[in-house]
Amino acid sequence: MIGKTLPEYIFIRAAITALRLVAPVSILYLVVSAYRHSFLISPWISFFTIPEALFHLFVFLPRRKTLAKPATYAPQLLTKEERKALFTRCFRTVFDISQWFLCSDILSIKRENVIDWLLWGFFSHDGKNADEMEQWRSEIDDFISALEVKALAGANFEEGRNKSINCMRLTFDPVVVLHRPLIWYTIVCFVDMYTAGHLASLGFRHYAPKKWFQAFPPRPFSIFSRASTGLHVPYWYRPHRSTIKNPVIFIHGIGIGLYPYISFLRGLVASDPDVGILLIEILPISMRMTSMPVLPRPAMLDEFYAITSSLNITRAVLASHSYGTVVAGHIMRSQQATEGPPPPTKITAYCFIDPIPFLLHLPDITYNFLYRTPKDANEWLLWYFASRDADVGRTLARHFFWAENVMWKEDLEGENAAVVLSGEDQIVPTRKVWEYLTDQPHGRERWVKEDGKLEVLYFDGADHATVFAKRTSRTGMTEVLQRFSRIDVMN
């Protein structure tokens, strides 16, 4: 991430403009050259413009239509009791429903607008099937009555629909993506190779699925990778040799793969070279074009446990960042499940860094990542290189189900866990999350629950992901993971 200074703003806007101009300028150059029956300036330029034009016309444009298709996976519909319990949990925290409608006046929201939002949020329904809606009518009426008491002080939502406003319905709204030129994917390839070289120098070995050519740009080093037990998930593993500590598993967030975490991983290795480290890669959120979308929760859990079992990891500490904290939340729930056989790997402690799942029922994260109009340099960086990336957009707009991904502080009860918050996080409402988890107003850098099981760290001045760029925060997170990994401490 970058900051908010004027030079950074000028740089990022110039970079975005340059990348967005590559395709139209290439097409215009070729059209004018064809009209003149000769290449302008130099024929050598065609070696750049022809691939860029073809890539835009015959790869990006057709693929953009494919990405907009509905997801093939959908979570199981909640029961009436489960919906009521979820609704009750949501409204234990105070928030302004008008923020979900991108408006400032709650009185402008009419009853049918609220129904649209409730159908999406609690029924995963777009409202087009009247028969299905009818069976939920009394339930929806109860929800609206509760909203009127809480949000309108007992007044009623006006009948009808306000056509001038729309609510944010993440999985129903259009997938908005922007073209990335071939030159950008060339940069991604070089960064990927650079990252692979660093990880190899730290003792990591790469494991790739049999169908290793699953993403573009290609990953040449995968030719030398070992075979992954998982069918779709690649990973890096540094062997575990310690007899007094458990290995660490790390799941990254949206961005350019594992590159932003190199310094953090180097420090983690240096803190105890005998502790093994497993790095799970999620390519659909790594600025690549992938042959398939992000795995749904059941498939991802199967892959995760297949990988850990193949590496004989029976106990481990799980650290995760940003989108990776969503996967970590699924893993935590699988560990807590009372039905079926226990998972083959026991997670003894969790570290959630810049967490997405807490207070996910609030509009902040959805708005900040996908709907906000960027202003500062860091917001423009997020907007173009993450929010408008094709596969990231597909992941969030078609495969991100909030009711499946949300976590509550009750989920952490009895678990050894640390939550790391960045004070200037432009995505996560960190002060709200601090107050929610601690039941205290923010005013310090570290809070520990009475039983010692949960601690919350707050790094003031850090933006989303910049905790990995600053030595102080990296050291703090490393110390937490080293303490968590001790077998005599975390049973």
Task: Encode pLDDT of 115-151 as tens digits.
Answer: 999 999 999 888 777 777 788 999 999 999 988 887 7
Pick the more confident residue, 358 or 489: 358
**Res 32 pLDDT > 80:** yes
How does residue 11 score in pLDDT terms, banded at 50, 70 and 90?
very high
* CA angle (89 as vertex; 84, 91 as ends), nearest 5: 100
pLDDT of 213 reads: 65
| DSSP secondary structure of 287-338 | TSEESS-PPPHHHHHHHHHHHHHHTT--EEEEEEETHHHHHHHHHHHHHH--
pLDDT above 90 (res 97): no
Confidence label for 420 from pLDDT (cuts 50, 70 and 90): very high
DSSP code of residue 56: I
Helix (H, G, I), strand (E, B) or coil at 144: helix
How confident is the model over 278-305, as a mean pLDDT? 95
Torsion angle of the four alpha carbons 269, 271, 275, 277, in this order, in degrees rounded to the nearest 10: -40
In a domain, 159, yes or no: no
168 belongs to a structural domain: no
Which residue has 């110039």 as its token pair? 14
- Say yes or no to pLDDT of 154 above 80: no
Task: Please report which confidence band the pLDDT of residue 489 belongs to, taking 50, 70 and 90 as the band edges.
Answer: low
Of 151, 166, 194, the domain-final residue: 151
Decide which of 15, 32, 67 is a domain's last residue: 67
- Predicted pLDDT of residue 95: 66
Taking 90 as the threshold, does the pLDDT of residue 435 lie above it? Answer: yes
Question: What pLDDT does residue 315 have?
Answer: 97
Quick one: average pLDDT of 268-286?
A: 97
> Token pair of 226, please?
């070992």
Helices (H), 362-453: 364-366, 377-382, 390-398, 402-405, 430-438
| Count of domains for the chain | 3
Residue 337 covered by a domain: yes
Q: Is 75 part of a structural domain of the chain? A: no
Same domain for 455 and 314, yes or no, is yes
Residue 172 belongs to a domain: no
Judgement on whether residues 58 and 89 belong to the same structural domain of the protein: no
Contact 177, 129 (CB under 8 A): no
pLDDT at res. 80: 92
Query: Which tens digit of pLDDT belongs to each residue from 202-219?
Result: 999 999 987 656 789 999
Q: What number is the average pLDDT over the span 159-181?
A: 92
User: Is residue 480 within 8 Å of residue 318, measured between CB atoms?
Assistant: no
Same domain flag for 386 and 462: yes
- Are 124 and 273 within one domain? no
Choice among 48-52, 100-104, 169-173, 378-382 with the minimum mean pLDDT:
100-104
Residue 226 and residue 359 in one domain? yes
Do 53 and 93 lie in one domain? The reply is no
196 and 123 in a common domain:
no
1-5, 149-153, 427-431: least confidently modelled range: 149-153
Residue 410 and residue 299 share a domain: yes
In a domain, residue 131? The reply is yes
- Kindly report which listed range (160-169, 179-188, 196-205, 477-486) carries the lowest average pLDDT score: 160-169
pLDDT in tens, 331-367: 999 999 888 889 999 999 999 999 999 999 999 999 9
Say yes or no: 209 and 114 in one domain.
no
- Phi, psi for 350 (deg, rounded to 5): -130, 145
pTM score, two decimals? 0.94
Q: What is the CATH number of the domain that holds 466?
A: 3.40.50.1820
How many percent of the chain have pLDDT more than 90? 74
Are 87 and 51 contained in the same domain? Answer: no
Same domain for 317 and 421?
yes
CA 21 to chain centre: 28
Average pLDDT score, the chain:
92
Residue 434 located in a structural domain: yes
Question: Is 7's pLDDT higher than 80?
Answer: yes
So what's the pLDDT on residue 491? 54
Kindly report which listed range (81-85, 102-106, 201-205) carries the lowest average pLDDT score.
Answer: 102-106
Residue 280 main-chain phi, psi, to 5 deg: -85, 130
Do 412 and 375 belong to one domain? yes
Q: Quick check: is 364 in a domain?
A: yes
Residue span of the structural domain in which 364 resides: 182-485
Domain final position from 131, 151, 171:
151
Q: Is residue 72 over pLDDT 80?
A: no
